Amino acid sequence: MQRLDYEKKVEVRYTDIDMNWHVGNVKYIEWVLETIPLDIIKNYRTHQIKIKYKKEVVYGTNVSIQTDKLYK
């Protein structure tokens, strides 16, 4: 990340996990999109999303979703 533009704290819920008790990959993308204000979602097109997986996330864990924006 070049800078922190948006951040959201999330507690992993039962519905966020897969059969292995880890957060599923699609859920990470949903969390990222939830950090972005609606006016940006409406007026800009998402070109690329990069996710940095530091470790497995499991049920009951608190995570910080951090997003920066780049305009081209």
What distance lies between CA 12 and its chain's CA centroid? Answer: 12
Determine the pLDDT at residue 12: 94
* Residue 41 domain-assigned (yes or no): yes
Q: Report DSSP state, residue 15.
A: G
Is the Cβ–Cβ distance between 7 and 66 less than 8 Å? yes
Q: Report DSSP state, residue 48.
A: -
Q: What is the pLDDT of residues 11-69, one digit of tens each?
A: 999 999 999 888 988 898 899 888 888 988 898 888 788 888 888 888 999 999 888 87
CATH code of the domain covering residue 35: 3.10.129.10
- Rounded to whole angstroms, the Cα distance separating 26 from 42 reads 21
* Number of domains the chain is built from: 1
* Residue 72 domain-assigned (yes or no): no
